[in-house]
Structure formats: structure tokens, C-alpha cells
Amino acid sequence: MAAILLTSKAACSNDISGQWTLSVESPAHHAVATLKVEFTNEKAASCLGGEWRVLKVVSATTQDKNFFPASDPLSYQIEGKQLTIGRNEVCDAYLLLKGALGGASVRGDYFSLGLGGTTPRGYFHLSQDK
């Protein structure tokens, strides 16, 4: 188990270093929020279990502040090749982005998770800045 954690952390530092552009999209794939982010090693507060780290928001623009919580504290977790980004400090009202790591970009789903289950909200695209 320790070897898996060390491998994940090594992959994490190699795959997600530097600044990234995060685009959160509507179900019709229209960008609603665009954020410049940096993945930190700082532990994050979370109501969800697991090893969550702080996702630092460098800048953000949004067309609808209620669509994605760009101004709320965000965190991330890597399990195997799955990256999850979310607002996890509001218990039972989680907003999550989830996709497979692979190279300099990640695509995936945006959904809410709460007592009533999961609800699709859109998509996201994350790309490493050059």
C-alpha cells in the first residue's frame, strides 16, 4: 500500500506541476467558468474521505457564479489515474469534476453529489499551460 501511495505522489508531482487552465462547461459544452489553477501539496479540509490537497485558484472568470464555485475553496485528489477536483467543504452538497489523467490535458464530467445521489451538471477540460 505504501508503494502505491508513493507511486501516486511521484506521478502526481510529475503530471500536474505548473499552472493549468480549467474550463468548466455546460451540458452543451459551452465554457461557463475558466480558471487558472495550481496543484499544491497542502492538505485540504474535506467532508469526503481520502487524501485531498488544496487546488490554488490563481485567477477565475465566470459567466454564472452559481454554475461552478470558482471563489470557494477547491481541492483535488488522485486515485490511480483518476483526478477529482471539487468543492468538498460543504458537506453533502459536493460539486465535483472527475476525469482520467493522461498527458498535458484531462477531460471529464462535472456533477453534484449529495444525499439524493449524483446529478450531471456538465463537463470540464483541464490543460497544462506552456
Number of domains comprising the chain: 1
pLDDT at 4 over 70: no
Q: What is the CA radius of gyration of the chain?
A: 14
**What's the domain range around 6?**
2-128
Amino acid sitting at position 86: G
CATH at residue 70: 2.40.128.120
Which cell numbers in the block locate residue 120?
Answer: 450531471
> Does position 32 have pLDDT exceeding 90, yes or no?
yes
- Span 65-121, pLDDT tens digits: 999 999 999 999 999 999 999 999 888 889 999 999 988 899 999 999 998 899 999
The predicted-structure confidence for 36-67, as pLDDT tens digits, reads as follows 999 999 999 999 989 999 999 999 999 999 99
Give the pLDDT of residue 130: 83
pTM of the model: 0.85
